[in-house]
Amino acid sequence: MMMRKTSLLLLGAAAGVAVTLIATSPRIVLDGARAQAAAADTYRQLSLFGDVFERVRADYVEKPDDSKLIESAINGMLAGLDPHSSYMDSKSFRDMQVQTRGEFGGLGIEVTMEDGLIKVVAPIDETPAAKAGIMANDIITHLDDEPVQGLTLNQAVEKMRGPENSKIKLKIMRKGQEKPLEVSITRARIQVRSVRSRLEGDDVGFIRITQFNEQTTEGLKKAITDLAAQAGDKLKGYIIDLRNNPGGLLDQAISVSDGFLEKGEIVSTRGRNAEETQRFNARSGDLTKTKPVIVLINGGSASASEIVAGALQDHRRATVIGTRSFGKGSVQTIIPLGSGNGALRLTTARYFTPSGRSIQAKGISPDIEVLQDVPEELKARTDTRGEASLRGHLKAEGDEQTGSQSYIPPDPKDDKALHTALDLIRGIQKNSAYPPNPKTAVPN
């Protein structure tokens, strides 16, 4: 038996992985004669591929790059399976690892692109950028004396990242300053904030989870501790905002769900064969001390977000408010292909909520649907098409659902889903779905 180090991935609009070990062994699925016939047919097809490859190399109008031909062939094979299986070259694989670790060597600034230049959205507290005096709305024009004009945002971000303790020089234009500022900054280890929190009024804890990376569960624990300390005895409940959260790590979706549950199944994954089924259960200990919880979702809530929403909904631990989620009910395994060869991202299982329902190409339906008021000019762009609209998606069990509103008003005072949640927790509004009754939890 061979042990191969692999990773489990849940992917919505963005990718994420969870490290696990999967034992692989040969599967005997055909009798001898049929196996030989199937093998012969497979070799004929591979021979055909070789013939086409050689003909392209010899006769194409321009000399092709052999490695690009092979990579394109691999991508074509995987793209023909489903929208979430793909090949990652070594750079894409490294980028994905950085994203899911949630930490990297860098400066600690959130940036955006404006008129071909890099604009600082905000420095992150306690990072080299904040300590160096970088301010929101600063325009970065040069990195180590190289102009950023002409670079993509990703290329500029890559240049700003680097090994801890290495230095980089920034040239900055700041409103009110005639001359550009030159700042030398030493990079440090930066942790991506996947969890942000605030107290609404003085009695409701609001926690926004933007992705599921290696920092998420610790971020959630800190947020709950901080909010409980700020509010004290006044704390009436928590709102967990998973809107437009594309997913990420499977193990983080499980541990975040576990933070609100005392017992019971959180999620199960089922591969091609029955023996590959895995079940993940909650351990005792509710971080919120059984305070009421409301989960916000919308059409951009995918994958790991749907696992959390589905688990808390099935156990009647939380009331789910918003619009139907994306509907990505599959798990990908990341298989490294050796030094410099990148990795294979392969769909290997479907996942099921505690009650045994698959959300594939359906999504999680909220207990209370709340539609936002969308500005006229944005109406054509605020619906997410959903998993069911993706070409080649895994089919649902039963009817498929596609398309759901994914707009979040930029000003919280216009956020109807948030205000519905606040009114329910404060007792201003009444609804039969809040508080949920654990005795009506859907049995597995």
Answer yes or no: are the C-beta atoms of 78 and 86 closer than 8 Å: yes
Strand segments (E) across 60-136: 86-88, 103-106, 109-114, 117-123
Q: Tell me what pLDDT residue 19 has.
A: 32
The H-or-E segment that residue 163 falls in is none
Catalytic option among 194, 255, 268, 303 = 303
Rg over alpha carbons for the chain, rounded to the nearest Å, is 25
**Could you give the CA distance from residue 79 to residue 83 in angstroms, rounded to a whole number?**
6
Find all residues with CB under 8 Å of 418, minimum gap 6, and list them.
206, 239, 241, 296, 412
Query: Among 272, 263, 254, 276, which Cα is nearest to 353's?
Result: 254
Answer yes or no: are the C-beta atoms of 11 and 84 closer than 8 Å: yes
Q: Tell me what pLDDT residue 27 has.
A: 47
**Could you give the CA distance from residue 441 to residue 428 in angstroms, rounded to a whole number?**
25
**What pairs with residue 267 in β-bridges?**
280
Altogether, the residues listed in the chain come to a count of 444
Q: How far is CA 302 from the centre of its chain?
A: 7
pLDDT digits (tens), the chain, 444 positions: 333 344 565 544 333 333 332 333 344 445 666 767 777 788 888 999 999 999 999 999 999 999 999 999 999 999 899 999 999 988 889 888 888 988 889 998 888 887 778 888 888 878 999 899 998 889 999 999 999 888 888 888 889 999 999 999 999 998 888 899 999 999 999 888 899 999 999 999 999 999 999 999 999 999 999 999 999 999 999 999 999 999 999 999 999 999 999 999 999 999 999 888 999 999 999 999 999 999 999 999 999 999 999 999 999 999 999 999 999 999 998 999 988 889 999 999 999 999 999 999 999 999 999 999 998 887 776 667 788 888 889 988 888 887 689 999 989 999 999 999 999 999 999 999 999 998 888 765
**Could you give the CA distance from residue 305 to residue 253 in angstroms, rounded to a whole number?**
7
Q: Tell me what pLDDT residue 7 has.
A: 52
The H-or-E segment that residue 158 falls in is helix 153-160
Query: Is the bond preceding 180 in cis, omega lying within 30 degrees of 0?
Result: no
Secondary structure (DSSP) of 135-197: -TT-EEEEETTEE-TT--HHHHHHHH--STT-EEEEEEE-TT-SSPEEEEEE-EEEE---EEE
Answer yes or no: are the C-beta atoms of 245 and 328 closer than 8 Å: no
Q: Tell me what pLDDT residue 254 has.
A: 98
85 carries an active-site annotation:
no
Query: Among 433, 443, 193, 404, which Cα is nearest to 293's?
Result: 433
**Could you give the CA distance from residue 354 to residue 279 in angstroms, rounded to a whole number?**
9
DSSP letter assigned to residue 393: P
Q: Tell me what pLDDT residue 123 has.
A: 86
Catalytic option among 314, 367, 383, 415 = 314
303 carries an active-site annotation:
yes
Q: How far is CA 362 from the centre of its chain?
A: 18
328 carries an active-site annotation:
yes
Residue 328 structure tokens:
């990505």
**Could you give the CA distance from residue 197 to residue 220 in angstroms, rounded to a whole number?**
9
The H-or-E segment that residue 349 falls in is strand 343-352
Catalytic option among 86, 138, 325, 328 = 328
